[in-house]
Amino acid sequence: MSVAAFDSSAVRIAERDAHWMAAALRRAARNTGRTASNPSVGCLVVAPGADGRDEVVARAVTAVGGRPHAETEALKIAGDRARGATVYVTLEPCSHHGKTPPCVNALIAAGVSRVVVSVTDPDPRVSGRGFALLRQAGIEVVTGVLEEEGERALDAYLRRQRKGRPLVTLKLAVSADGMVGRQGEGQVAITGPEARARVQNWRARSDAILVGVGTAIADDPLLTCRIPGMEARSPHRIVLDRRLELPVASRLVATARDVPLLVVGGERRPDGETVERSADAVAALAREASRSMRRAALEAAGAEVIEVDPGALETVLEMLAGRGIASLFVEGGARVAADFLAAGLVDRIALFTAPRFIGEGGIASPVTRDHIPDGFALRQTRTLGEDRLDIYERAS
């Protein structure tokens, strides 16, 4: 074979691999935000058809809840057609024993000939080991196909693995005069229906949504996904509430048995004892007793109270990552937004700007199109009805 013919063949194979990997990434997007602590991975099994052309004999995505994994499900669908086939998978197949056997073992047992992967898994139990085991079994392994696209698709999972915290998206709806609401009026509609629908879709693709207790009390939101037919994709709801002031009668608490609600509140002494600090010991004891009653009431209603100082945002994020939360949508409160920005914990800003004016008594936004925090770059702009969405991302 001439060098030119070899090069041409290599280009065709690379183009074919990119084509099918793009399809695997689209499949993975179907369950983003629904796979608990596991990433949503897409997998295709491709084999020669009767006419010699590529034929997809199986498609799969990580199941809701995180199991079964995409690879094992695809191999099950493919059956005997998997022998000698090429498998396209968006993340390195797992090689460790967890609640299920390793996907690498299933691929080897199925007799596949090639495994094409987009992103190497940074999980130390897997990273590179899956590839090595496949190669030892005589399977051709190709890595880094559409790697940039794969990294974006898996950005939340990769952030949790690499930095020990969720990917944080800060959402702000800002009026033409730079306000996010009006003092004393609770929730104020700023954006139109198209922008609000976009937010609902974002909620459906996030593991958790977070607000401060001030917003929770003033707006009495549900923070669920209200897209018809997608209500089950509502994220975990988190309220930062140092003194446990969230009313038991609030809609958040009233729905805590249907959609998980985490209330983060309290301070800890070095010995782990939760306290309210005060020079007046009697008053402090009375407040602590009252706080204990409020905690009991919240828990009786189905909320989970987590004794972590809500002011220690990095600790809060580490706690959430430890619970399998990889993507966090910070949606409520100018104060909370400013605190996350000041702590350097925002990875992406979703800035919705509307043409309406708030005027006197408005609550100023910490971010506007004319005032973007240092370190963020505009990545995307979209028109949604009368509103504009600008997405800014922090340089890694």
261, β-bridge pairs? 237
- Name the residue type at position 205: R
Helix (H) or strand (E) holding 205: none
d(CA 296, CA 319): 22
d(CA 197, CA 175): 18
Residue 390 in tokens: 């600008």
Whether residue 242 contacts residue 267, with contact meaning beta carbons closer than 8 Å, is answered with yes
Helix (H, G, I), strand (E, B) or coil at 263: strand
Q: Which positions are catalytic?
A: 71
Give, as one character, the DSSP assignment of residue 100. S
Neighbours of 63 (CB within 10 A): 18
How far CA 321 is from CA of 11, 39, 389, in Å, comes to 41, 13, 28
> Closest Cα to residue 188, out of 369, 354, 367, 383?
354
Alpha helix positions (H), 307-394: 313-322, 334-342
Helix (H) or strand (E) holding 221: none
Residues 247, 251, 255, 259: is their CA dihedral positive or negative?
negative
Could you tell me where the beta strands, DSSP code E, fall in the chain?
Answer: 42-48, 54-61, 86-91, 114-119, 140-142, 167-174, 179-182, 208-212, 236-240, 261-264, 304-306, 327-332, 348-353, 362-364, 376-384, 387-394
Helix (H) or strand (E) holding 16: helix 3-28
Residue 318 in tokens: 């580490």
**End-to-end CA separation in angstroms for the chain:** 44
Residue 350, φ and ψ in degrees, nearest 5: -105, 100
d(CA 306, CA 294): 13
d(CA 93, CA 242): 41
